[in-house]
Amino acid sequence: MRRITFLVYAVLWILLISLNLYQQVTDTKQYAQKIATRQAEMFFDHIVLIRKWNALHGGVYVPITESTQPNPYLEVPHRDVETTDGKHLTLINPAYMTRQLSEMGDESDIAFHITGFNPIRPENRPDQWEAEALLAFQQGQKSVSSIGTINGQSFYRYMAPLHVDQSCLVCHQRQGYKEGEIRGGISVSIPSASIDAFVSERLEHLTITHAIVAVIGLIVLLLSYLAQARLSLRLDKAKSRMQLAYLDSLTLLPNRRYYDAFVKREWKRALRHKYPISMIMIDIDFFKLYNDNLGHIEGDHCLRQVAKTLKRFFRRPGDLIARYGGEEFCVVAACDAEQIMVLAEILRKAVENMRLPHPASKISEFVTISLGVASIVPSDDLSFESLLHAADQALYDAKATGRNRVGKRRV
């Protein structure tokens, strides 16, 4: 039973540690996603701020180079100009600037993309994830973030909408946009690999820590189990020694020592509560002749059989059947004179019905017993010895009048 309890506690401990590890792993992954989302939000805010600066200035003129050609999708007057010293300049609006920044971002880990449902530039069309995000913006969602895949690689993706303001209408009025409407958004993608190293290190640390805690807990449980097992073994040994001290080794009935302690305790209880206490003295008829005729081994067997038969009728904690000495037994019970007489007769018949052969008996071919009964209600001027004396005299009467019967005496 203790082993099963130990195993149950061990399994529960492992489950508890596993659940805690699972929760912390989940929290760590969610925290990593929050870090990536926050980083993407900051990146998005910086892009929007730069675009706003550009829009407030009506765009920015830059020299035309191989990598910066005039924007064919920008249909505004004075898109291209020439300075007095002959330099050719082209107007960079917020969208063109965002695209150029995005192309420069290919050299870093973070990528971003300006997109919308109706972009002027075909390359600004949304991918599937961005299209779903744009639909979410139309339904009132402020931003979208999740883990997605781009060209087979995992990314933390974030996207927020771009609203039309007055400066945007310069380029986008012909598309039918109105001020305040959502005309698209900017998606920011951060490679998962840039954060996975942190996550993996954290998960490895959590796994090792939880494994150590689990092992320590199991060791504590094991030591507790072993200590309890050792204590229980000592208690069992002590209990066995105590039982041996109060049990008759032959019949396994309580011995004279236990009888003395029991009698003192029960006499005080009966005296305090004023209820009757009764006693039966029992003697196996012609037991000496049994031993002389069949030998001491058979005599011991006879004592064990009689003790086993008598013991069957005693289940109440307030009753006692004990070996008094030799072939004598005694009964102490909390009952009145009538009840003890009934019990005595039951015991006599039970032994007789054993049909244990007694070839040397002078009254029966089987083993029989004689019994002496006495009852008393304890009082301050009486002692248990008076009850014992009366029961002993009643036993003498039973023997003197033929044996295999119950004698009775008053105290």
244 has pLDDT over 60: no
Mean pLDDT over residues 214-224, rounded? 89
Instruction: For residue 230, give every residue at least 6 positions away whose Cβ sits within 8 Å of its Cβ, in sequence order, or none.
Output: none
d(Cα 306, Cα 283) in Å, to the nearest integer? 10
Beta strand 111-115 with 88-92: parallel, antiparallel or unpaired? unpaired
Q: Which of 75-84, 238-247, 291-300 has the lowest mean pLDDT?
A: 238-247
For the CA atoms of 300, 304, 309, 310, what is the dihedral angle to 10 degrees? 90
Q: What is the phi/psi pair of residue 71, to 5°?
A: -80, 110
Can 327 be counted among the known catalytic residues? yes
The residue that leads in pLDDT, 87 or 6, is 87
Q: What is the DSSP letter of 70?
A: -
Which band of pLDDT confidence, cut at 50, 70 and 90, is reported for residue 168? low
pLDDT at 314: 86
Structure tokens at 208: 């090792």
Q: State the pLDDT at residue 338.
A: 93
Query: How confident is the model at residue 368, as a pLDDT?
Result: 96
- The segment with the largest mean pLDDT, out of 27-31, 113-117, 176-180, 393-397, is 393-397
Q: Where are the alpha helices (DSSP H) in 57-144?
A: 94-105, 128-138
User: When comparing pLDDT for 230 and 169, which is higher?
Assistant: 230
Radius of gyration of the chain (CA): 52
Task: Give the tens place of pLDDT for each residue, 118-162.
Answer: 777 788 888 899 889 989 988 889 999 988 888 888 888 999 998
What average pLDDT does this structure show over 153-177? 70
Choice among 107, 181, 327, 365 that is catalytic: 327
Give the whole-angstrom CA distance, residue 126 versus residue 375. Answer: 107
Q: Tell me how far the alpha carbon of residue 153 is from its chain's centroid.
A: 42
Distance CA(153)–CA(158), nearest Å, equals 15
Q: What percent of the chain has pLDDT over 90?
A: 35
Rounded mean pLDDT of the chain? 86
